[in-house]
Chain A
Amino acid sequence: MAAFPRRAAALFCALTALATLACGEGSGLIGTMTTDTTGGLGGGTTNTLLASVTVNSNAFSPNLVNLARTGTVVWLWADTTSLHDVTFSDPLLSSATKSSGSHTISFQSSGTFNYHCTVHPGMTGSIVVH
C-alpha cells in the first residue's frame, strides 16, 4: 500500500523538475563554455574530441594532454581551498582566477599550447594538438 504514495510523490517531483528544466539553466561541467572557437561542443554529426584536466592544489593533472586532432579541453577545479587559474599567452583562452568550477576551450588548430597558473608559478601544463 505504501507504493502508491511513493509513486505519487516521485511523479510530483518529476513534474516540478520538468517545469524547472524548461525555464532554467544549469551549472554543469562541459556546458559552461568560457571560450569556444567552434560554436559549441560538436552538434549535428560533428564528432568532437574531448579531454579533461583536473586542477589540483599544486599541479594540473595530467599536465600534458595530447589530442590526436582538434578538440576540446575542460579544466575542472578540484582544489576548492585555494585560488587557481589557467593562463595562456593568449588572454582570450585564459580563465578567471577562482577556486571552483570549470574552464573549457575548443582548440581549432594544431600546435603546442602552454599554460600555467599565475598564483602558483610551478604549476604548468601543455596541450598538444596534432
Chain B
Amino acid sequence: MEDLEKVSLLQRVDVFREVRSDHLALLAGVAQELEAVPGTVLMREEDIPDAVYVVARGTITLRILGRTVTLTEGAGFGALGLIGERPAMLTATVPGPANTLLLRVTRPALADLLVDSPALAVALLRGMAHRVDTLVAQLPVHSPLALV
C-alpha cells in the first residue's frame, strides 16, 4: 500500500481528524500493514491495546458491551485504550470469509512521533476531545455518566 493511500485512510479515523497532512504522512510512514486471517482476534476487552488499528480492506467485528458492530474500510479502533492505557472494552475479530487488511500504528511508534512533534500531540488531543464529545452526545440525558 502506498503512503498516500495510508494517509487517506488515517485521516478518516476520528482521533486523527485534526492531524495535519504532513503529520499524517509521518504516521503513514510508521503504520504497519497486517493481513489478518478469518478468526483472528486483534484485541480483547480486558487487555490494554498496544496499537491503533484502521481497516484498510475487509471488515472487523467489534463486540462492545454486548453489542456487535461491524467496521469497514476507514474505520479505526483501539485509540482511546491505547492512549489511556486502559482495557480496550471491546473485542475485535476478523469475521471472514476473506482476510482483512489493516493498518497498525503501535504505541512506541506513536510515542516517538509525539515526542518529536508537539503539534501532532495537540492535534491528537483535539481529535480525542472530538471523540469524547461524540461519545458523550450519544449518552442518554439521564445517564449518570453524563454528569462526569
Contacts and interface: CB of A to CB of B under 8 A. Distances in A.
Interface of A: 2, 6-7, 9-11, 13-15, 17-18, 20-32, 40-52, 54, 62, 65, 67, 71, 74, 76
Contacts of B129: 7, 10-11, 14
Interface string B106-148: 1110110011000001001100110011001000000000111
Contacts of B110: 21
B1 A45 contact: yes
Contact of A51 (B37, B82, B83, B84): B37
Contact of A18 (B29, B48, B83): B83
Given A50-B35, A52-B40, 11 more contacts: A11-B129, A14-B125, A17-B85, A18-B83, A22-B111, A27-B48, A27-B50, A29-B50, A40-B32, A50-B37, A71-B35
Contacts of B107: 21, 25-26, 28, 31
B47 A22 contact: no
Interface string B22-54: 000000010011111101111110011111000
A94 to B, nearest CB: 21
Interface of B: 1, 29, 32-37, 39-44, 47-51, 82-85, 99, 101, 104, 106-108, 110-111, 114-115, 121, 124-125, 128-129, 132-133, 136, 146-148
B56 to A, nearest CB: 10
B36 A51 contact: yes
B41 A21 contact: no
B interface majority secondary structure: mixed
